[in-house]
Every structure is written in structure tokens, then in C-alpha cells.
Structure 1
């Protein structure tokens, strides 16, 4: 294979998981290929029990998939190092998080779409297995749309007729804090006005100093992005409880069509730029997409709900 071969698989029992993944990993080991596992603890334990002591590199799934931008950065560094060391083929199997394991899906759906471009330069066979016992139907639909290949029951990859280039059309899901009236609401504000309003509004929260700094930066950056690339009016809102804060910026434009926007660093003037990438690496959650109100960027600090 050349370039990134992005494949998914579906299973409904532990034995089915092993039947799909063990041959995939054993094939990499026999070929002398760098072989990586980044799965949840339960699946990692199953694989270690089935494979025994091997040269497989095990990455803690919770760490590898803490944020989409972190996952991309870590994988690209890993692939670059192995390629520089002479590897001509690599294999990776990873459990991408989703609501069935308590994680919001929007930015992971974007990750699955972005992976097709983010890893395209590397000779990697990536397998993303999904457990049908825990994965919601709408997530499975996005998985089909974002993977060019699906593993057959025999383990042989086949082209996926359901694959669609570009971003999946996952519905925007407002945060639960948005059920209340916003504490701050501004229209076409300057970045400075947003920073001042946010600093004043979150003074009574229990955010750490780092989270406070990240939130003020995030709010300023999202508004700047809207003013630069969006279509007026630019509407800024903020909600908060004692421990968590959500900010949202909505404009009437279409938003970026590039799946990589915010997930990889860029300074290109025609894209969302470096700021959204930093946003994705500092906030606990970032959502980007269109709904009836327009294109909205949401970010939360203080944990996910």
C-alpha cells in the first residue's frame, strides 16, 4: 500500500473483535512492520491475552484520543519517525471515542473525516473498529461515511460504497448549559470587548487559572475568526455554572469546508489559521458546524457534559 489506507470494521462480541483485529496485527508482525494499538483498556487486555509478548507498541487509548488535534499530532510524529527510520508500511488499530463510551462525538466525526488527509503522506494501514453494542446508530452512519474501506468478516478489506468525501453532516448538539439564558450576549463585538466581558462573567466560577486563561483566549480567537472569515452579524454568547463555561459564536456564513480546519496547524490566510488549532488543543471540547441559526463554533472549558 502507498499512502493512508483508512478502514473500519464492526463487531458485536469480544470474539468478533479478536477475529477482526488479531489477524490484522499478526500480519503486520509477520511483515516486520511497525504495529501500533491504541485501544480502550478492555480491548487492549483482550489483545494482550490473545497475542502474548510481541513487539506491538501499545498506546493508552484514553491518552491517544484525549483530543482530535492531539491524536493527529501524536500519530503524525510517530509515522514520521518510523518513515525516517526506513519503514515502508505501518499498521495501527485504534478505538475512536464516541457517546457510547461517554464522549461527545462532533469533533471525533470531524477527526475521522480529517484523518484521510492528515495521514495521506504516510504508508499506514489504519483500522478503526466500532462496537455495535455501544456505538449509537447515528455514529455508525458517520463512521461509514468517513472510511473509504470496510473490513469483511474474513478480514479482507473492501471498498466502502458508503464513503463520502468531506465532512459528515452531524447535527449540532447544544451544550446542556445552553438551556439557560446566556450570561453574556454580544453582537459584532471586538475581540477586546469579548475578553473583558468573559473575564468579568467568569470571576465567580471555580475554574483554575489555566482554564480561565484558556477560556479568555478561546473566546477572543473564535470571535476574531468569525469577524475575519464569517458573515455578519457575529453573535457571541456565554453560559456558565460553578465549574464549567461554554462559549459560542454564530455567524451567517457557511464555515470552513476543510475537514482539517482547527485540527492541524496552518497559517494559510484562506483557512481558519493557527488560532483554531490552538483552541482545539486547549479547550475540553470544541464543536464546529451549521444549524438553523448559521455556522457556530462552540467551546467548553472545565470538562465535558
Structure 2
């Protein structure tokens, strides 16, 4: 049986918490967490920059489970995979509602914001088969205003200190939101001539070129992951895209950037890359592997075709 503001709700109850002070944040989160524990529900909070603040404000012996937030929020597709496994385990153990407080790390508001905003939208679908009530905290003092506008579009509700939970008038359905073209800002290394340009490469030729150019620039693990991602993207472009197919590669002091462009319209599934392939009847396994393998992935649809940009190493 669902409790609190989520009583009677089916599926995912997803809220944003906007705060401008510690007191404002605690006024929302403490009753939420205490209420979950009092109801005997699995009640979790991600360990992040506010973990100690929240922990110290909770009454004694309130069994909130604090998780390691950094590991969860390494990459959006990995976060979805981890959360779905966690939620499934709690439901299998008999949970009728699960409460979670989350907060993206500060790095999410930099170069990689585009895929974290897509994550916040996609989870409205990805978690909707679980009895989850979650609150995502956003600090007005440090989150840029234009990003707060995107938060309002990706969270159906807002939790206020007065106990109200109004609907967000800006909320956009995930299919519509994820279908919008939102290419990330160009990486500064792309202002230089590319180190590699390949026309119509096969996967083997693409991997060889990446290996030759990227060895020693990024860690061996990041290089191995990039080789997998490039192979998948080239294969997708050959099978599902249209000619011409072109790969370009740039190197920086701490990263490698690869773009693959073809003349097609890109994937039809707006969730491609973010959700595990086993969850999507339409496939998309290749793009999901790519999102698991790279430190940042952006997409761009233009009159010239569809492009993916892959970053290995430090995306910031």
C-alpha cells in the first residue's frame, strides 16, 4: 500500500526539490525520510555533498540507508541499470513503496548536463513499473537557471517545505522531450584539425585508427571501452544509417573525442542508449553498449544526417 503524497498512485512518483538553504532542504527531506521509515518502507538517500547534513538532522535510530552516490551517478545508463536492479530486489522482498532521495554530483552540471537531463526525463518511463517515490534535490544557489528550467520539464511534481506536492506546469512527456534535438556544446579540441578522418570505414579499420591515435592519451581501460563503442557505432551506421559514413577523431591532453556521422535520420526509439536493450522491444543494444562504455555521448540530428560524439577520458 502506497503512503504519503504517493498514496493511490501507480508507478513512479517523481519530484524535484528546489532549495536555497540547508533549512529549506531539510524541511522537505526529513519528513519524507522519517515517514518512509515509520511506514516500514525501504528508505534510501544517496551519499553526496548533503549526506552528512541530512544524516545529522534525522532523529536517532531512523534506519535510512545511505548509498554511495558517486558510484551510482557515473554514467546515466549505468545509473538506470543500477537503480532498476535495486528496485527489483526491494519489490521481490515485498516492498509496496520505496523512497529515495537523490542529488546529481556537481560535475553533472558541466559539459555532460545534456545526457543527465535526458536521464531525468527517461527515468519517468524506466522506473514506472516500480512503486517508487523519489525526490531529486537541486540547489538554486549553484544550479544555473537554464538548467533549472530543464529540471521543471523532466520532473512531473515539486515537493515544497509546506508539505504540498504540486504538478509541474512545464513537465514534458519523456517521448517528446527525448525526441528533441539537443546536441552538446562542441569540445574545444574540435576547434583543431582532426587527427584522423576516415570515409566509409569498417569496424576493424576504425578500431585500428582509434588505437593508433589514442594509445597513451587515455587509460587502457578507457581506450578499450572506446574501441568497443566505436565498433558498435560504425556497425550501426553501416546497418541502420545511410551513406556517406565518416569518422573523425581528435585528441586532447586528457581525452579523445570521436564523431561518427551518417546520412540517416538516427534511431527511432527516443530511449535508445539510455535503457537496457532487454527493456526495449525495438532493440537498441548497440547504443546502450556505447552509453555504458564512454564518459560522454552526444547525438545530433541535422539536415545532413545523424552524428554521435563519443568522449573517452575527462569530458570536462
Which residue number in structure 1 is paired with residue 245 of structure 2? 234
169-178 vs 288-297, which deviates more?
288-297
Residue in structure 2 matching 1:176, options 158, 174, 188: 188
TM-aligned CA deviation for residue 152 of structure 1 = 3.2
Aligned length: 302
Match of 2:206 among 188, 194, 212: 194
Q: Give, in whole Å, the separation in 1 of the partners of 2:237 and 2:102.
A: 34
Aligned-partner Cα distance in 2 for 1:136–1:239: 29
Counterpart of 1:29 in structure 2 is 37
Give 1:242 shift.
4.1
CA contact (8 A) 1:172 1:290 kept: no
The aligned counterpart of 2:66 is: 58
In structure 1, what is the equivalent of residue 254 of structure 2?
243
Q: Is the 8 A contact 1:145 1:162 kept in 2?
A: yes
CA displacement at 1:256 relative to structure 2: 3.0
Cα contact 1:98–1:104 (8 A) shared by 2? no
Contact 1:98–1:108 under 8 Å retained in 2: no
Identify which range, 276-285 or 63-72, moves more after superposition: 276-285
Give the structure 1 partner of residue 84 of structure 2: 76
2:170 is aligned with 1:148:
no
Q: What TM-score do you get using the length of structure 2 for normalisation?
A: 0.88
Is contact 1:113-1:259 (8 Å) kept?
no
Q: Equivalents in 1 of 2:61, 2:263: separation in Å? A: 55
Question: What TM-score, normalized to structure 1?
Answer: 0.90
Alignment partner, residue 282 of structure 1:
293
Query: RMSD value over aligned CA atoms?
Result: 2.2
Structure 2: which 5+ runs fail to align? 1-8
Equivalent in 129, 133, 141 of residue 133 of structure 1:
141
Name 1:216's counterpart in structure 2. Answer: 227
Q: Unpaired runs of 5+ in structure 1?
A: none
Asked if the contact 1:28–1:91 (Cα under 8 Å) also holds between the matched residues in 2, the reply is yes
Give the CA deviation at 1:293: 5.4
* 2:55 is the counterpart of 1:44: no
